[in-house]
Amino acid sequence: MGSAVRILSLGGIPIYVHASWLAVYALITWTLAVGYFPHALSAPSTLAAWLSGLVAALLLFVSVLLHELSHSLVAQAHGLRVRGITLHVFGGVSQLEDEPPSPRAEFLIAVVGPLTSFLIAGLLWAASASAVVPTGAARAIVDYLIVVNLAVGVFNLIPGFPLDGGRLLRAALWKWTGALGRATTIASRVGGGVAIALMILGLVQMLNGVIVGGVWLILIGLFLRGAAEASHTQVTLREALQGLAVREIMTRDVVTVGPDATVADLVDAFWTHHVASFPVVESGAVVGIASLPQVRAVERDRWPTMRVREVMRPVSEALLIGPDDDVQRALERATGNELGRLAVVERGRLVGYLSLKDITHVLVLRGMGLGEPVRRPPAGARDLRRAA
């Protein structure tokens, strides 16, 4: 999530606001207060224009949230796990932990977003046309929201993956080719082309004196290009790791330390075993992970007296994985926990250890066409050294 803060939960889906959202919220408010409302309202006061701008900008992001929420709810209906929705500088994104199970699911998840934006615009237009909304600031805000929701719906239908239109294109290609990877590659290339076109258009606008609009288009183009490449990489990784369980690649002979060992003992273990981290085990249960970066934060003269439990990272879901979990999930968890390592636990007992290096090794082997790993008989983890 980066610099995102959780603000609420809707339907069991966490909603986050990224720090960049504050900047764009302030920019939109300022644009509306000094540009739109002075023309939409007859001689408004400065306070009225700014208050109207604050409300309109906030309702814009409510509309974006509803757009993303529709994606997430349909994804959940198809059995996908939703990590959350994050509002950021370019709008919002629904973070799905899995790829859709079929082209039909991909189509429905993608199309519901623009349809939601069009529905919001239609309902607001009907309210405005029936005089339910009073004239003045309220009418001006509603008229603005009609336009921006139409714009959000149309923009998202551009076939630039990972925009909704790009995902609709991927669904069609997936249905046609029968291969998600191939469909993603083509859709990502189209998305990259759309991103370049937006950046060129932005440059042309800047040369014609439309500086703010041009810069904005260039930034959106850069964002879309990066997102397309990231999405393509994610699908490639999923296919490369498909069918692999954690137990097939985890380290089984696990060196552990105890929580009451000193930091000096821990450093000695680092030297002895040439590794950068250890699971911390107490009474057979994993209680944390101790790593080199944590030791670096401790003054050297405190090593003989400070205990491992004082410097270790306490155990949490982010540090654990099951032996039968797929390696793709392990990769996501290890990448996100800032340690790059996971303790493999089964029925409360440590049975293995997994690092990003182990996963990278498998990716390299599969990239060389060396096929499946050698299947080894299950074995519990054994402690080569237990610091007491």
Structure confidence at residue 383 (pLDDT): 38
State what percent of residues in the chain have pLDDT above 70.
94
- CA 56/CA 52 separation, integer angstroms: 6
C-alpha span between 121 and 64 (Å, rounded): 12
Which pLDDT value is given to residue 371?
A: 54
pLDDT tens by residue, 341-364: 999 999 889 999 999 888 888 887
Q: How far is CA 54 from CA 35, 37, 92, in A?
A: 13, 11, 19
Task: Select from 117, 122, 125, 119 the least CA-distant residue to 92.
Answer: 117
Q: What six digits make up the tokens of 23?
A: 């900047």
Helix extents (H) in the chain: 19-31, 37-40, 46-77, 103-129, 137-156, 164-177, 180-207, 211-241, 246-249, 263-273, 292-296, 308-311, 327-336, 356-367
Q: What is the pLDDT of residues 286-297, one digit of tens each?
A: 999 999 988 988
Alpha carbons 28 and 6: distance in angstroms, whole number: 22
Inform me whether the pLDDT recorded for 368 exceeds 60. no
On the question of pLDDT at 376 being above 50, the answer is no
SS3 312: coil
- pLDDT (tens digit, 9 = 90+) per residue, 234-277? 777 777 777 789 998 899 889 999 999 999 999 999 999 888 89
Smallest CA-to-CA distance from 286 within 306, 311, 309 is with: 309
Task: Kindly give, in sequence order, each residue whose CB lies less than 8 Å from that of residue 361, ignoring residues fewer than 6 positions away.
Answer: 249
pTM, two decimal places: 0.71
* Mean pLDDT across the chain: 87
The DSSP secondary structure of 106-139, one letter per residue, reads HHHHHHHHHHHHHHHHHHHHHHHHTT-SPTTHHH
Does the structure show a pLDDT above 70 at 388? no
Q: Are 91 and 20 in contact (CB under 8 A)?
A: no
- Which of 115-124, 178-187, 249-258, 356-365 is modeled with the greatest confidence? 115-124
CA dist 41 and 210 (Å) reads: 25
Stretch among 33-37, 129-133, 333-337, 373-377 having the lowest mean pLDDT: 373-377
What average pLDDT score do residues 214-240 get? 81
- The string of pLDDT tens digits covering residues 10-36 is 888 999 999 888 888 998 999 899 988
Instruction: Write down the pLDDT at residue 367.
Output: 60
Most distant CA pair in the chain, distance: 80
Q: What domains, with CATH codes, occur in the chain?
A: 4-241 (no CATH), 246-387 (3.10.580.10)
